[in-house]
């Protein structure tokens, strides 16, 4: 081999070897100090449900990176929380029960050197899991148990309904209820109308679990009400139609046309009336109702969260209404509902996949179990997506007793 080629090969080996050495050190800490930082001081504690907020004074270490808290949320289960040196506070959370707990705080440098720990006593209030369980109320609903609970802490919790299908004491989980809202009111559906043993508990993302509530219930049988018996029942003061010459009438809500995109004609009330609008109809039969499902209409591009589609509205029922059109004692408010767009996108933005699934599946309004039989229904529109009160409705399904 010629001398100049040997020189080139040796140079390349030296160069790549140098690169290799650099790669080996690229992820090592830049800081090399082994000096132990000082401790955090002046710690103050503010207790809340299942958590405590700590505020403190940082030590004067120039290479401080974060403050770390180490504690047990229940015996044998440790948790660590860190907070950047840009902050002087942190939240220690995940406590499963109210009580006194020890938290150890460490200041940590960029070289991952920890200070001596300082111990702080916290006393979180009752956990969101136990608070929700204490408020848990379960009764027989249509198709399954109706579950109510309060989540006053507004923390993420999971209500776990279980069923003993064979009656042998072995429970399997039904659909879990995940929520961060302050109130839960949900019915598990699709179960048989026979005496059944159920169990209910509450959990969270930290693995905390409440006690278990056991109940034997007989779910009520639910059917979709026969819409062939429905008829219009206009009362004084009910909304006028936007296009009466084209046959845009209340009766179009129950013609079983579920093609929601650009279907015309559909129910379309006059947008010039800006006061809350009402439409009324007769189901032709008295039924104990469980829920109503509304299907919105879109003119184009799957935009169901626009214009006259329902947003804030009420549903009223009557067995024998006053014919003067008033909301007197002959009418009972069955529910008030606000449609929440899952994506949170601004008005006029095309629907996200979650938005579309919600609209195409229908906007469900559930009624309280134990209502009196109803024959006449009213919808009172308070605000649509355009900020007016007129209504677009493509289709409606009503459910209740046999």
The predicted pLDDT at position 263 comes to: 80
pLDDT digits (tens, 9 = 90+) for 31-55: 567 889 999 999 999 999 999 999 9
Domains observed in the chain: 41-122 (2.60.40.10), 128-217 (2.60.40.10), 223-400 (2.60.120.260)
Confidence of residue 30 (pLDDT cuts 50, 70, 90): low
Q: Is 55 exposed, middle or buried (0-12, 13-18, 19+ CB in 10 A)?
A: middle
The predicted pLDDT at position 19 comes to: 41
Contact predicate 347/306, CB 8 Å: yes
The predicted pLDDT at position 227 comes to: 97
Lowest mean pLDDT among 216-230, 232-246, 258-272: 258-272
The predicted pLDDT at position 9 comes to: 41
Q: What is the average per-residue pLDDT within 155-161?
A: 96
Q: What is the average per-residue pLDDT within 144-153?
A: 95
- Asked whether residue 142 carries a pLDDT value surpassing 80, the answer given is yes
The predicted pLDDT at position 6 comes to: 44
- The token duo for 126 is 């009752």
Provide φ and ψ at 19, rounded to 5°: -65, -40
Residues 6+ apart with CB under 8 A from 230: 251, 254, 281, 282, 283, 284
- Asked whether residue 323 carries a pLDDT value surpassing 80, the answer given is yes
- Asked whether residue 2 carries a pLDDT value surpassing 60, the answer given is no
| Helix (H/G/I), strand (E/B), else coil: 242 | coil
The predicted pLDDT at position 177 comes to: 95
pLDDT digits (tens, 9 = 90+) for 281-304: 999 999 999 999 999 998 877 889
Confidence of residue 246 (pLDDT cuts 50, 70, 90): confident
- Asked whether residue 271 carries a pLDDT value surpassing 60, the answer given is yes
On average, the pLDDT of the chain sits at 90
Q: What is the DSSP letter of 261?
A: B
Kindly list the distances between the CA atom of residue 122 and the CA atoms of 53, 129, 204, 327, in Å, as whole numbers in the listed order: 9, 19, 20, 54
The predicted pLDDT at position 20 comes to: 41
Residues 6+ apart with CB under 8 A from 211: 133, 201
pLDDT digits (tens, 9 = 90+) for 168-222: 999 999 999 999 989 999 999 999 999 999 999 999 999 999 999 999 999 999 9
- Between CA 218 and CA 88 the distance in angstroms is 55
Closest C-alpha among 215, 375, 239, 373 to residue 310: 239
Contact predicate 304/359, CB 8 Å: yes
Contact predicate 145/160, CB 8 Å: no
Q: Is 125 exposed, middle or buried (0-12, 13-18, 19+ CB in 10 A)?
A: middle
- Asked whether residue 11 carries a pLDDT value surpassing 60, the answer given is no
Percent of the chain with pLDDT over 90: 80
Beta bridge partners of 335: 315
The predicted pLDDT at position 21 comes to: 39
Lowest mean pLDDT among 99-113, 148-162, 251-265, 374-388: 251-265
Contact predicate 318/281, CB 8 Å: no
Contact predicate 358/303, CB 8 Å: no
b/e sequence 288-322, b meaning 16+ C-beta within 10 Å: bbbbbbbbbbbeeebbbbbbbbbbbbbbbbbeebe
Q: Is 88 exposed, middle or buried (0-12, 13-18, 19+ CB in 10 A)?
A: middle
Strands laid side by side in the 89-93 sheet? 41-48, 51-57, 89-93
- Asked whether residue 23 carries a pLDDT value surpassing 50, the answer given is no
- Asked whether residue 267 carries a pLDDT value surpassing 70, the answer given is yes
- Asked whether residue 390 carries a pLDDT value surpassing 70, the answer given is yes
Percent of the chain with pLDDT over 70: 92
Chain-centroid distance, C-alpha 21 = 52
The predicted pLDDT at position 10 comes to: 41
């Amino acid at each position: 081999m010629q001398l100049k080629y040997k020189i080139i090969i040796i140079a390349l080996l030296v160069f790549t070897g140098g690169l290799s050495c650099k790669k080996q050190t690229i992820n090592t800490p830049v800081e090399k100090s082994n000096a132990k930082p000082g401790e955090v001081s002046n710690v103050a504690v503010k207790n809340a449900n299942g958590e405590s907020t700590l505020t403190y004074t940082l030590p004067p270490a120039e290479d401080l990176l974060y403050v770390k808290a180490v504690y047990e949320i229940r015996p044998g289960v440790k948790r660590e929380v860190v907070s950047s040196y840009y902050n002087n506070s942190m939240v220690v959370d995940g406590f499963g029960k109210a009580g006194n707990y020890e938290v150890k705080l460490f200041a940590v440098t960029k070289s991952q050197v920890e200070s001596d720990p300082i111990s702080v006593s916290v006393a979180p209030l009752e956990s969101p899991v136990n608070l929700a369980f204490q408020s848990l109320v379960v009764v027989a609903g249509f198709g399954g148990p109706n579950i109510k609970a309060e989540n006053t802490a507004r923390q993420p919790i999971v209500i776990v309904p279980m069923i003993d299908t064979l009656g042998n004491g072995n429970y399997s989980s039904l659909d879990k209820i995940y929520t961060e809202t302050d109130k839960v009111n949900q019915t598990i559906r699709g179960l048989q109308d026979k005496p059944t043993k159920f169990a209910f508990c509450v959990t969270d993302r930290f693995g905390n679990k409440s006690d278990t509530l056991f109940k034997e219930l007989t779910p009520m049988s639910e059917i979709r009400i026969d819409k062939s018996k429905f008829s219009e029942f206009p009362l004084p003061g009910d909304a006028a139609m936007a296009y009466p010459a084209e046959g845009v009438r209340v009766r179009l809500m129950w013609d079983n046309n579920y093609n929601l995109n650009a279907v015309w004609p559909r129910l379309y009330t006059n947008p010039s009336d800006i006061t809350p609008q009402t439409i009324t109809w007769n189901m032709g039969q008295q039924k104990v109702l469980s829920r109503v499902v509304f299907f919105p209409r879109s003119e184009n591009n799957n935009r169901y969260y626009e214009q006259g589609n329902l947003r804030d509205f009420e549903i009223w029922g009557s067995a024998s209404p006053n014919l003067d059109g008033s909301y007197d004692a002959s009418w009972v408010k069955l529910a008030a509902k606000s449609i929440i767009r899952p994506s949170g996108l601004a008005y006029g933005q095309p629907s996200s996949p979650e938005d579309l699934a919600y609209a195409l599946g229908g906007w469900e309004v559930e009624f309280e179990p134990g209502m009196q039989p109803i024959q006449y229904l009213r919808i009172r529109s308070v605000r649509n997506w355009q900020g007016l009160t007129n209504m677009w409705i493509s289709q409606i399904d009503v459910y209740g007793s046999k």
